[in-house]
A = this chain, B = another copy of it.
Amino acid sequence: MTALDLGFILFDYAAVAVFGATGALAAARRKDDIVTFTFFAAITGVGGGTLRDLLIDAPVFWVDRPGYLVVCLAVALAVWLLGLRSGRMTLLLWLDAVGMAAYAVVGAAKALSLGVHPISAVVMGVLTATFGGVIRDVLAGEPSVLLRREIYVSAALLGAAAFVALASLGVDRLVAGGAGFVVAFVIRAGALRWGWSLPGFKGKPES
């Protein structure tokens, strides 16, 4: 295993863990039981990558490596034991930002390495980064992250695009990946810290 591979694998487990934590925290807010904690942690943690693998016809990454599921179980137990305290909701948002930025890069990198068209690879990065959260929100009956005006999908999009552009220009993939992560994270951090948002559609709605 090369250093490059190891870097992406660490990114990958880190993203599963932090997304899994956001799933477990969603379950905590709902006062769910430990099984539902684990279910939400797993769906949120591996949901985006699962969709990516189905779309690019790769073996679904966690089926042969159940270590990913064990990570989700551990995260669910940790959230259950540590509980919610003041500031946890803020932590949830920042963890989610880290997971989103990591997955935008990891998702695009996996697609690129399997020979997927660069434009589609960017889309895979965006889907990997956002779909776990989308499934979490739909199943929890909360308004989807897609529907909030705060910048989220855009951050994943620009991070994945930066990575794919740099990698296509021949930049070392780990460097390109770091750059893509920073782009996605900084934009999302700006949205969290200063409420950055894109302008909404201005047309008059019909009644």
Interface residues of A (CB under 8 A from B): 27-37, 39-40, 42, 50, 54-57, 59-60, 62-64, 66, 69-70, 80, 83-86, 88-89, 116-117, 119-120, 123, 134, 138-141, 143-144, 146-147, 149, 153-154, 157, 197-206
Nearest CB of chain B from residue A20's CB, rounded to whole Å: 14
- Determine the chain B residues whose CB is within 8 A of the CB of A80 once the complex forms: 201
Closest 4 CB pairs of A and B: A83-B203, A33-B198, A66-B119, A31-B200
Alpha-carbon distance between A83 and B204 when the two chains are bound, in angstroms: 8
**Out of B28, B116, B144, B203, which one reaches A203, CB within 8 Å?**
B28
Nearest CB of chain B from residue A152's CB, rounded to whole Å: 9
- Contact between B206 and A123, CB atoms less than 8 A apart: no
Nearest CB of chain B from residue A84's CB, rounded to whole Å: 4
Nearest CB of chain B from residue A35's CB, rounded to whole Å: 5
- Contact between A29 and B205, CB atoms less than 8 A apart: yes
Alpha-carbon distance between A34 and B203 when the two chains are bound, in angstroms: 13
- Determine the chain B residues whose CB is within 8 A of the CB of A198 once the complex forms: 33-35
